Amino acid sequence: MIVKAETVFTDASGTGPRGYLVRPDDAANYPGIVLIQEWRGIEPHIRDLAQKLAAQGYIVLVPDLYHGQIATEPDDALKLMMLVRSNIDRALGEIQMALEYLRNDARVQPKNLGLMGFCMGGLLTYKMASRYPHLAAVSPWYGAGYDPKQEDLSKVSAPLLAVYGELDKGIPPEQIHQIEKSFAEAGKQITVKVYSGAGHAFLNNTHGAYHEASAKDAWQMAPDFFKRNLV
């Protein structure tokens, strides 16, 4: 499927946060997915993922949480990520703007949306799942540092697909087990997939962490998850 991409303002004023929007190049209606960046920003890997999703029949919006900046070195990425985490409510507000942008797009059908994020975006995806009521499918990937609280989990209404690498040094196995246990105790639907032999950011084929077998399987699983819950 041929897709087209553009940069859009995600607020009504036309002066606020921007996003990278990709949609099939036709006039049909499609489900909407907000995709949240890794720590480097909206780099080629993230744009490629958005295009791949759109080519499978989705309208995809990536909110630009770094406001035009893209890190090329790990030190720069860390600084930008820490700025976001120091004002996480602002980042969540910008993600909500992106979600509302899609809901208000006449060609996005149905109006309950998908949400997925990677690395830093995985953590933000977890947090957004309890803050935004119009979600039908949520998929955090290797989101470190998430500490689920029962009062937050009570507000989660969408099923989750959580993806991790077994060798991810920043996410201990006990953290993953605690997330799975907390969701189960809250009566929420979560599927946790931990890939053997894979580390952090194993889907990213532009950096050294890429793990081909895990990446291929996971990337097939994610669109299937969205198809079941959005289409």
Q: What is the pLDDT of residues 26-74, one digit of tens each?
A: 999 999 999 999 999 999 999 999 999 999 999 999 999 999 999 999 9
CATH code, domain with 192: 3.40.50.1820
Q: Mean pLDDT, the chain, as a whole number? A: 95
- Burial class from Cβ neighbours inside 10 Å (0-12, 13-18, 19+) for residue 66 reads buried
What pairing do the DSSP bridges indicate for beta strands 32-36 and 18-24? unpaired
**Domain extent at residue 128:** 3-230
**Alpha-carbon gap, residue 91 to 99, rounded angstroms:** 13
| Mean pLDDT, range 183-211, rounded to an integer | 94
Per-residue confidence (pLDDT) for residue 197, from 0 to 100: 95
**Alpha-carbon gap, residue 192 to 188, rounded angstroms:** 12
Phi then psi dihedrals of residue 68, to 5 deg:
95, -15
15, pLDDT greater than 80: no
**Alpha-carbon gap, residue 98 to 166, rounded angstroms:** 31
Cα 132 from chain centre: 14
Which residues, 6+ apart, have CB-to-CB distance to 90 below 8 Å? none
Q: Residue 117 carries which side chain, given as an amino acid letter? A: G
Per-residue confidence (pLDDT) for residue 5, from 0 to 100: 98
Per-residue confidence (pLDDT) for residue 168, from 0 to 100: 96
**Choice among 29-33, 147-151, 187-191 with the minimum mean pLDDT:** 147-151
| Mean pLDDT, range 115-127, rounded to an integer | 97
| Strand extents, DSSP E, the chain | 3-9, 18-24, 32-36, 59-63, 113-118, 135-141, 160-165, 190-195
| Mean pLDDT, range 129-136, rounded to an integer | 97
In 104-170, which residue ranges form alpha helices assigned H by DSSP? 120-129, 150-153
- Nearest Cα to Cα of residue 59 among 176, 200, 228, 226: 226
Per-residue confidence (pLDDT) for residue 13, from 0 to 100: 78
Q: Are 121 and 162 in contact (CB under 8 A)?
A: no
Q: Are 103 and 61 in contact (CB under 8 A)?
A: no
What pairing do the DSSP bridges indicate for beta strands 3-9 and 18-24? antiparallel
Other CB atoms within 10 Å distance of the CB of residue 72:
9
Q: Are 221 and 214 in contact (CB under 8 A)?
A: no
Per-residue confidence (pLDDT) for residue 16, from 0 to 100: 79
For residue 110, cis peptide bond before it (omega within 30 degrees of 0): yes
Q: Considering its fold, how many domains does the chain have in total?
A: 1
pTM score over 0.85 = yes
pLDDT band at 173, cuts 50/70/90? very high
